[in-house]
């Protein structure tokens, strides 16, 4: 019975980790987008450069979330 409890705890924690990573990525991308919109509103002539930088940073945030989800899946398969 304790083996079942350990496995279910590992699966639950892995699911929580993946969920927290997704929430963190959503918050991060939302803040990036909001800051980019503020910057474009202040300097419309630099909108192309701002959008490019915004997309690169958003990709980095998504990559971190993807790595976290993969690690959670690896933990799940090892349990």
| Structure tokens that stand for 28 in this block | 């991060």
Mean pLDDT of the 67-76 span: 88
Model pTM? 0.78
Encode pLDDT of 6-62 as tens digits: 888 888 888 898 899 999 999 999 999 999 999 999 999 999 999 999 999 999 999
Rg (CA), the chain: 18
Task: Tell me whether residue 64 is exposed, middle or buried, using C-beta atoms within 10 angstroms of its C-beta: 0 to 12, 13 to 18, 19 or more.
Answer: middle
**pLDDT at residue 79, as a whole number:** 55
Can you list the domains of the chain with their CATH numbers?
2-78 (1.20.20.10)
Dist CA 7 CA 29 (whole Å): 33
**pLDDT at residue 1, as a whole number:** 64
Task: Tell me whether residue 14 is exposed, middle or buried, using C-beta atoms within 10 angstroms of its C-beta: 0 to 12, 13 to 18, 19 or more.
Answer: buried
């Amino acid at each position: 019975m304790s083996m079942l409890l350990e496995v279910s705890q590992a699966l639950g924690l892995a699911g929580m980790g993946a969920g927290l990573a997704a929430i963190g990525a959503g918050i991060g991308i939302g803040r990036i987008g909001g800051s980019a919109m503020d910057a474009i509103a202040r300097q419309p002539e630099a909108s192309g450069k701002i959008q490019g930088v915004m997309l690169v940073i958003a990709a980095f945030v998504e990559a971190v979330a993807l790595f976290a989800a993969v690690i959670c899946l690896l933990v799940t398969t090892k349990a």
